[in-house]
Structure 1
């Protein structure tokens, strides 16, 4: 069985839209594209290296796929070239080589090598992929695809890179349709620039408890009756 790993850069208030640059995704009038680069540090770089160290395939929404397909295939991977950058080249080589599974209505336009459409029934295809053999399946960006994954309780592991800023609006990691689920913190670290690097695993259903008095007061009973 393959795990589905949801990985995302996010602000403290859960915004994940356009971390890499102003032109990445300005949809909805989003004005803060490029909020991530000024926080970059060596610990974040090392964490991403660890993130990509084990075998994986990518799960992408169409918008993120188009962003990646217009960038990573064009990164210089020749170490003799003057514009060679080892970190970017390693990621480019990995992303070019692995399979990219894409949620899209335009499968005929997936031109990046090793790209496959998830088909018309995305949830059924994801369940089939998850039950099969192969490397784990990891998301990058793809907020609309994340909504589908969370709504259908398909996420086995969550890797959040939480940045110390609040944006107030933008596409968020969790939507209102997310299936209730308890998680356990499997690992965490803090980078010098205040990025909280976390990994969560599934921990079961939500358990309900109460701090209320065993016998509610008259004031409490009145409060409850006025809840509407």
Structure 2
């Protein structure tokens, strides 16, 4: 599971103003705005590229899927740099989507998980292959955590307090014991931390 997250735990709408306006959230794009102003050396880019090089499947909530399908799903695979690299990878890998309302998915290699999301994810974890990546999808993450189905949390913690918005670990989140694996501070002030569940 990978997230852009604020100091006060907000994960809502990091990428754009209209990404997720639920609850009247008007601070969308906070991570990208911060990066444009403070991450002038693009330290975060290579970290994400390394993470994504291991992605063999995507596991997404419906809202995140719709955002990604409207971006990575339509962008050119011939684009330069990481945009083209990620587009090629995301088009190739299977996308597993948790949704109670969708009946079909247009983006290639996309599959609905069905009504038993924890059971479907547990079966996916038993299949051979590399990492199954979750980006965003805070409601899905909560469901997965409640069934002990998240192996690793990769957090890019931004030195921002928003005071409002959906949080990664809201009230009622499943009690989870984690061990720190790596912490790295970037010149921008972002702290990249990786935690794994304790076995």
Task: Give the TM-score normalised by structure 1.
Answer: 0.81
Partner of 1:119: 114
Matching of residue 54 in structure 1 with residue 36 in structure 2: no
Distance 1:28 1:89 in 2: 34
CA RMSD of aligned residues (A): 1.4
> Deviation per CA, 1:45-81, whole angstroms, max 9, x where unpaired?
0110111122421110000000001111222222xxx
**Structure 2 unmatched ranges of 5 or more:** none
CA contact (8 A) 2:180 2:193 kept: yes
Partner of 2:139: 144
SS at match of 1:36: helix
> Deviation per CA, 1:133-182, whole angstroms, max 9, x where unpaired?
22221101101101101122211111011001011111111133322222
> Deviation per CA, 1:11-30, whole angstroms, max 9, x where unpaired?
00110000011111111100
Matching of residue 66 in structure 1 with residue 61 in structure 2: no
**Structure 1 unmatched ranges of 5 or more:** 1-5, 79-83, 205-228
Distance 1:197 1:43 in 2: 11
Distance 2:77 2:110 in 1: 20
CA contact (8 A) 1:7 1:158 kept: yes
Task: Give the alignment of 1:163-202 within 5 angstroms.
Answer: 163-202=158-197
Distance 2:120 2:172 in 1: 20
Partner of 2:150: 155
SS at match of 1:160: strand
SS at match of 2:111: strand
Displacement of 1:39 after TM fit? 2.7
CA contact (8 A) 2:76 2:84 kept: yes
CA contact (8 A) 2:43 2:186 kept: yes
Displacement of 1:107 after TM fit? 4.2
Matching of residue 86 in structure 1 with residue 81 in structure 2: yes
User: 95-104 or 40-49, which moves further after superposition?
Assistant: 40-49
SS at match of 2:103: helix
With over 3 angstroms needed to count, the CA separation of the structure-2 counterparts of 1:184 and 1:151, relative to structure 1, is same
With over 3 angstroms needed to count, the CA separation of the structure-2 counterparts of 1:48 and 1:121, relative to structure 1, is same
Partner of 2:33: 38
Task: Give the TM-score normalised by structure 2.
Answer: 0.92
